[in-house]
Amino acid sequence: MKHCLQQALALTVAGLLLAGSALAQEQASSLDELLRKVQNSQIAETKEHRQREAEFRRQKANQRNLLNQAQRTKANEEARSTRLEKTYEEQEIQVSAKRQQLQERLGSLKELFGHLTSTAGDLRSNLQTSIISAQMPGRAEFLDDLIEKMNSATQLPTIEEIERLWFELQRETIEGGKVVKFMDTVIKPNGEQVEQEVVRIGTFNLVSDGQYLAFNPKGEKLEELTRQPAGAFLSAATELQSSSDGFTRVGIDPTGPSGGSLLSALINSPSLIERWHDGKLVGYIISCVGVFAVLLAVARFLALSSMSSKVNAQLKSERANTNNPLGRVLKVAEDNPGLDGETLELKLEEAVLKERPAIESGLNLLKIIAAVAPLLGLLGTVTGMIITFQAITVFGAGDPKTMAAGISSALVTTVLGLIVAIPTVLMHTLVSGRAKRIIHILDEQSAGIIAEHAERK
């Protein structure tokens, strides 16, 4: 019985050890050792609990101290805020009084500073965009400080700063009437930076090595225009740069300081080659037809001139030469001396008719080209207008420049057609006159031969 109770007690103690303590997890070799371990575990847990309770008490006391400290800080800051608000109100009253005193003491200077501020602002904007700043950079920097001082309620500009403002105004006016040379870095269209001589023409334009330059206010850089005006202006710019004194004729843009609108319009105006390309396919066809007409007219004119000289030589000769139309007609009369008048007349008319195609060759083609060229131009204009109106339908008519450019390109073919037709008509008239003169001589000589033959009969 006693042994059974010991076993039950051991099992109970072992269960408690397994649930609450790490020491109970170790295997005991005897019941006495197990009891010792249980006792040690209870003692350790009691000690740990006491330590935790002491830590909780210390933290509670610390929290109470922190709360008291925060309350004291809050009270101090509230008192400080009250003092600062009172100080701020007192200083606001003093600032208002000082401002009123400042306005009273300024008197007429206030109006003067207003004019100075306006003048400095206008001068700053002028200096930033003026091409004189390319030669004299950094002139507008002091104006920022001057304007800030004149707008400030605590600072006043010095006499030296006001005198410098007057000096910069005078210098800008004086430099605007000079043509000067100076060395500077020029940015080429390919991005290359080259140190070269630059000529400044007043406040209007900058040129260098026969090229017009643009002034970029950002960074005060000089850039060579990617597209230049006509060659006459560039040659004048080169002549100006090479001259040392006297007067030189050169093209300048009076709107240069405000953006150079005239120079831009001159540069953006398309050249003759560009306008010719605006005609596109129809324009190319008209040009080919015109070239063909010129070549044909020149060839026929030379051929008829040679033929006319031979006919003139034949008129002075007593013998028929078959190297010209008149000689061949006379040869027919010489070969048939015994024919009657009517038969001889028919023979001569036949000979003249044989010569006509060679004499009048190409005349009808020139006439057709003169008539067709304007029609081709009209065709190109109509097709160009159709394309322009289709673009207006898609993109709208908000930009008149786009519409004007499309219509201008469409009318190029009409111009090309007229350019081809008018000279072709003149050339046809000239060549036709030569041909008619030769045919007239043939008819005249044939009639003379028939008349002499009739007289002999």
| Displacement of CA 256 from its chain's centroid (Å) | 18
Looking at the structure, do residues 192 and 251 belong to the same domain, yes or no? yes
Confidence class for position 178, pLDDT limits 50, 70, 90: confident
Domain count, the chain: 4
Taking residues 374-381, report their average pLDDT. Answer: 91
As beta bridge partners, residue 197 has 183
Query: Looking at residue 34, what is its pLDDT?
Result: 66
pLDDT over 90 for what percent of the chain? 15
Mean pLDDT of 144-159: 78
Question: In this predicted structure, what is the pLDDT of residue 24?
Answer: 42
Hunting for tokens 């030379």 — which residue is that?
Answer: 302
Q: How confident is the model at residue 5 (pLDDT cuts 50, 70, 90)?
A: very low
Of 206, 237, 268, which residue constitutes the final position of a domain?
A: 268
Query: What's the pLDDT score for residue 346?
Result: 87
Region 430-446 average pLDDT: 90
Q: Cα separation of 158 and 146, whole Å?
A: 9
Least confident window among 29-33, 328-332, 449-453: 29-33
CA angle 356, 362, 363 (to 5 degrees): 75
Among 277, 272, 292, 294, residue whose Cα is nearest residue 380: 277
> Cα separation of 291 and 346, whole Å?
41
User: Does residue 224 sit in the same domain as residue 169?
Assistant: no
**276 vs 41 pLDDT, higher one:** 276
Q: How many helices (H) and strands (E) does the chain have?
A: 14, 5
pLDDT confidence of residue 297: 94
Are 337 and 345 in contact by the 8 Å Cβ rule? The answer is no
Does one domain contain both 164 and 219?
Answer: no
Please tell me whether residues 424 and 321 are part of one structural domain.
yes
In 3-state terms, what secondary structure has residue 448? helix
Which of 264, 269, 237 is closest to 253 using CA atoms?
Answer: 264
**In the predicted model, what is the mean pLDDT of residues 71-93?**
90
Mean of the per-residue pLDDT values of the chain: 80
Domain-embedded: residue 433: yes
- 98 domain-assigned: no
Note the pLDDT of residue 44: 67
pLDDT recorded at residue 10: 46
Q: What is the pLDDT of residues 6-28, one digit of tens each?
A: 444 444 444 444 444 444 444 55
- As a whole number of angstroms, the distance between CA 124 and CA 130 comes to 10
Arithmetic mean of pLDDT, 399-418: 79
Please compute the mean of the pLDDT values over residues 280-299 and round it to a whole number.
92
- Mark whether 186 and 319 lie in a shared domain: no
User: Does residue 248 share a domain with residue 331?
Assistant: no
Please report whether residue 90 resides in a domain.
no
Residue predicted with more confidence, 175 or 20: 175
pLDDT score recorded for residue 402: 64
Instruction: Answer whether residue 308 is part of any domain.
Output: yes
- Segment 43-71 shows an average pLDDT of 80
Looking at residue 277, its pLDDT comes to: 82
- The domain in which residue 341 lies consists of 278-456
**pLDDT, tens digit (0-9, with 9 covering 90-100), for 338-355:** 777 788 888 888 888 888
Residue 434 lies in a domain: yes
Residue 395 and residue 55: Cα distance in Å, rounded? Answer: 82
Q: What is the DSSP string of 341-373?
A: HHHHHHHHHHHHHHHHHHHSTTHHHHHHHHHHH
- Is pLDDT above 50 for 456? yes
pLDDT tens per residue across span 103-117? 666 666 667 777 788
Q: Which of 149, 175, 201 is the last residue of a domain?
A: 175
Q: Is residue 85 part of a domain?
A: no
Which of residues 268, 299, 324 is at a domain's end?
Answer: 268
| Token reading at 139 | 């002139």
Statement to judge: residues 440 and 300 lie in one domain: yes
Q: What angle do CA 194, 197, 203 make, to 5 degrees?
A: 110
102 or 332, higher pLDDT = 332
Residues 51, 128, single domain; the answer is no
DSSP state of 28: P
pLDDT at 107: 60
Task: Please indicate, yes or no, if residue 140 is contained in any of the structural domains.
Answer: yes
Is the same domain home to 201 and 342?
Answer: no
Q: Is residue 92 part of a domain?
A: no
pLDDT of residue 128: 82
Identity of the residue numbered 330: L
Summarize pLDDT for 209-233 with one digit per residue, the tens.
888 888 887 777 888 888 888 778 8
C-beta of residue 417 within 8 angstroms of C-beta of residue 376: yes
Torsional sign, CA 126, 128, 131, 135: positive
**Is the model more confident about 404 or about 95?**
95
C-alpha 335 chain-centroid distance: 80
In what helix (H) or strand (E) does residue 183 lie, and over which residues does it extend?
A: strand 179-187
Residue 423 in this model has a pLDDT that exceeds 90:
yes
332 shares a domain with 310: yes
Same domain, yes or no: 288 and 431: yes
Looking at residues 47-68, what average pLDDT do you find? Answer: 81
User: How much is the pLDDT for 18?
Assistant: 42
The distance in angstroms from the start CA to the end CA of the chain is 192
Bridge-based pairing of strands 205-208 and 193-201 is: antiparallel
| Residues 313-338 pLDDT 10s | 888 887 888 888 888 888 888 887 77
More confident residue, 388 or 426: 426
Could you tell me if 306 and 398 lie in one domain? yes
- Cα 211 from chain centre: 18
Q: Which residue has the higher pLDDT, 387 or 3?
A: 387
